[in-house]
Amino acid sequence: MKQPWGRRKDAVMVEKDTDLQKIRELIEIMKANDLLEVEIKHGDDRIFLKRCQPQPQQVGVPMVGPQLTSPTGLSSTGVSAPLGQPRAPRQEENLVEIKSPIVGTFYATPSPDSGPYVEVGSRVTPQTIVCVIEAMKVMNEIKAETGGTIVEVPVTNGQAVEYGQVLFRVRPD
Amino acid sequence: MFSRILIANRGEIALRIIRACHELGVEAVAVYSEADKDAPYLRLADEAICIGPPDCAESYLNIPRIISAAEISDVEAIHPGYGFLAENVHFAQICKDCGITFIGPPVEAMQLLGDKVQARKLARQVKVPVVDGSEGTIENESEALKLANQIGYPVIIKAAGGGGGRGMRVVHNDISLRSAFSAAHAEAEAAFGDGRVYLEKYILEPRHVEVQVLADNEGNALHFFERDCSIQRRHQKMIEESPCPALDKQTREELCEAALRMIKEANYVNAATVEFLLDKDKKFYFIEVNARIQVEHPITEMVTGHDLIKWQLKIASGHTIRISQKNIRRTGVAMECRINAEDPANNFSPCPGTITEYLPPGGPGVRVDTHVHQGWTVSTKYDSMIAKVIVHQKTRTEAIATMKRALREFVVEPIKTTIPACLDILSHNLFVKNKVDTGFVERNF
Residue-wise pLDDT for B191-218, tens only, equals: 788 889 999 999 999 999 999 999 999 9
Which residues, including other chains, have CB under 8 Å from residue A12's CB and lie 6 or more apart? A45, A46, A47
Q: Which residue of B has its CA nearest to A160?
A: B72
Assigned CATH class of B207-444: alpha beta
- What's the rounded Cα separation, in Å, for the pair B155 and B199? 7
Q: Are B32 and B39 in contact (CB under 8 A)?
A: yes
CA distances from B228 to B246, B251, B283, B398, B437 (A): 9, 14, 15, 17, 10
B84 has a pLDDT exceeding 90: yes
Cross-chain Cβ contact B69/A102 below 8 Å = no
> Mean pLDDT across the stretch B313-339?
97
What pLDDT does residue A17 have?
Answer: 64
Domain-wise residue ranges, chain B: 4-103, 132-201, 207-444
CA distances from B308 to A23, B3, B295, B358 (A): 43, 19, 12, 28
**What are A106's strand-pairing partners?**
A133
A100 burial class (0-12, 13-18, 19+ CB within 10 angstroms)?
buried
Strands B270-278 and A138-143: unpaired
What pLDDT does residue A51 have?
Answer: 79
> Mean pLDDT across the stretch B297-319?
98
What pLDDT does residue A150 have?
Answer: 97
Least CB–CB distance from B52: residue in A104, A136, A163:
A163
A3 has a pLDDT exceeding 50: no
B98 Cβ under 8 Å from any chain A Cβ: yes
Least CB–CB distance from A160: residue in B52, B65, B72:
B72
What pLDDT does residue A11 have?
Answer: 43
A9 has a pLDDT exceeding 50: no
Q: Higher confidence at residue A114 or residue A80?
A: A114
Q: Which run of H or E residues covers position B20?
A: helix B11-23
Using 50, 70 and 90 to split pLDDT, how confident is the model at B103?
very high
What pLDDT does residue A53 have?
Answer: 61
Using 50, 70 and 90 to split pLDDT, how confident is the model at A67?
very low
B64 Cβ under 8 Å from any chain A Cβ: yes
Q: Are A164 and B32 in contact (CB under 8 A)?
A: no
A136 Cβ under 8 Å from any chain B Cβ: yes
Q: Higher confidence at residue B227 or residue A113?
A: B227
> Mean pLDDT across the stretch B331-337?
98
Cross-chain Cβ contact B68/A103 below 8 Å = yes
> Is ipTM > 0.85 here?
no
B67 Cβ under 8 Å from any chain A Cβ: yes
Using 50, 70 and 90 to split pLDDT, how confident is the model at B310?
very high
Q: Which of B47, B72, B97 to mutate to test the interface with A (most CBs of A within 10 A)?
A: B72
Residue range B4-103 in CATH 3.40.50.20: yes
Count of A–B CB contacts within 8 Å? 42
A5 Cβ under 8 Å from any chain B Cβ: no
What pLDDT does residue A4 have?
Answer: 39
B364 has a pLDDT exceeding 90: yes
Q: A91 — phi, psi (to 5°)? A: -90, -5
Cross-chain Cβ contact B98/A104 below 8 Å = no
What pLDDT does residue A2 have?
Answer: 45
Lowest mean pLDDT among A48-52, B220-224, B347-351: A48-52
What pLDDT does residue A46 have?
Answer: 80
Predicted TM-score (pTM) of the model is 0.81
Q: Which residue of A has its CA nearest to B65?
A: A103
pLDDT tens for each residue of B382-415 = 989 999 999 999 999 999 999 999 999 999 999 9
Query: What is the average pLDDT score of chain B?
Result: 95
Q: Which of B137, B78, B38, B48 is nearest to B292 (CA)?
A: B78
Q: Are B22 and B11 in contact (CB under 8 A)?
A: no
DSSP helix/strand/coil, B208: strand
* Residue B124 annotated as catalytic: no
- How near does any CA of chain B get to the CA of A140, in Å? 12
A104 Cβ under 8 Å from any chain B Cβ: yes
> Mean pLDDT across the stretch A162-171?
97
CA distances from A96 to A56, A149, B427 (A): 20, 10, 59
Lowest mean pLDDT among A1-5, A134-138, A144-148, B342-346: A1-5
What pLDDT does residue A90 have?
Answer: 53
Q: Higher confidence at residue B128 or residue A89?
A: B128
How many Cβ atoms from other residues are within 10 Å of residue B321's Cβ?
18
Q: A127 — phi, psi (to 5°)? A: -90, -5
pLDDT tens for each residue of B416-426 = 999 999 999 99
> Mean pLDDT across the stretch B157-166?
80
A83 has a pLDDT exceeding 70: no
- How near does any CA of chain B get to the CA of A105, in Å? 7
Q: Which residue of A has its CA nearest to B49?
A: A162
Chain A residue numbers touching B4 (CB-CB < 8 A): none
Question: What's the topology of domain A93-172?
Answer: OB fold (Dihydrolipoamide Acetyltransferase, E2P) (2.40.50)
B324 has a pLDDT exceeding 70: yes
A73 has a pLDDT exceeding 60: no
Residues carrying CATH 2.40.50.100, chain A:
93-172
**What are A141's strand-pairing partners?**
A132
What pLDDT does residue A37 have?
Answer: 83
Chain A residue numbers touching B65 (CB-CB < 8 A): 102-103, 135, 163
Selecting among B120, B169, B292, B367, the annotated active-site residue is B292
A105 Cβ under 8 Å from any chain B Cβ: yes
Q: Which of A143, A133, A141 is nearest to A163 (CA)?
A: A133
**What are B28's strand-pairing partners?**
B5
pLDDT tens for each residue of A40-66 = 887 777 888 887 765 544 444 444 444
- Report the CATH architecture of B132-201: 2-Layer Sandwich (3.30)
Using 50, 70 and 90 to split pLDDT, how confident is the model at A77?
very low
Using 50, 70 and 90 to split pLDDT, how confident is the model at A70?
very low
Chain B residue numbers touching A163 (CB-CB < 8 A): 34, 49-53, 59, 65
> Mean pLDDT across the stretch B136-156?
92
pLDDT tens for each residue of B4-36 = 999 999 999 999 999 999 999 999 999 999 999
Q: In what order do the strands lie in the sheet with B197-201?
A: B169-171, B155-159, B197-201
Chain A residue numbers touching B51 (CB-CB < 8 A): 103, 162-163
Using 50, 70 and 90 to split pLDDT, how confident is the model at B361?
very high
Using 50, 70 and 90 to split pLDDT, how confident is the model at B353?
very high
Chain A residue numbers touching B64 (CB-CB < 8 A): 102, 135-136
Cross-chain Cβ contact B64/A163 below 8 Å = no
pLDDT tens for each residue of B32-83 = 999 999 999 999 999 999 999 999 999 999 999 999 999 999 999 999 999 9
A139 Cβ under 8 Å from any chain B Cβ: no
| Longest pairwise C-alpha distance within chain B | 60
CA distances from A35 to A114, B88, B313 (A): 19, 40, 35
